[in-house]
């Protein structure tokens, strides 16, 4: 499984609807509106690395109101469950 975090700057008039549109894309597991330099964060999860281009350039960048993006591809994924299991001492 390949994971990526996509930071998204939105055009002002797209702010009310872009989050729902992002969340509706196949391959986008979660979408958040955030504060700071970026307006939205999308968490992309796809079975194969090659599918990132289909989701990000093929779908996400085609959405009305996406001004620019920055994509961060994960080397490894850690969840709270995984971390707790790693550090548990056989309780």
* Digit-coded pLDDT (tens) for 33-81: 999 999 999 999 999 999 999 999 999 999 999 999 999 999 987 776 6
Selection from 40, 25, 29 nearest residue 4 by Cα: 29
Query: Which residues, other chains included, contact 42 with Cβ-Cβ below 8 Å and sequence gap of 6+?
Result: 5, 6, 8, 22, 25, 28, 30, 31, 32, 60
- Give the pLDDT confidence score for residue 83 in this predicted structure: 53
- Give the pLDDT confidence score for residue 82 in this predicted structure: 56
Helix (H) or strand (E) holding 15: helix 15-23
Mean pLDDT for the chain overall: 91
Q: How many residues does the chain have?
A: 91
Reported as a single tens digit per residue, the pLDDT across 23-46 is: 999 999 999 999 999 999 999 999
pLDDT exceeds cutoff 70 at 89:
no
The full set of domains in the chain, from first to last, is 2-87 (3.30.70.920)
């Amino acid at each position: 499984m390949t994971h990526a975090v996509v930071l998204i700057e939105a055009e002002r008039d797209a702010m009310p609807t872009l989050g729902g549109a992002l969340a509706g894309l196949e391959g986008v597991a979660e979408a958040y509106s955030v504060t700071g330099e970026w307006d939205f964060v999308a968490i992309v999860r796809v079975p194969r690395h090659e599918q990132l281009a289909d989701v990000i350039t093929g779908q996400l960048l085609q959405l009305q109101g996406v001004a620019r993006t920055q994509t961060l591809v994960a080397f490894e994924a850690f969840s709270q469950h995984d971390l707790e299991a790693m550090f548990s001492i056989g309780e």
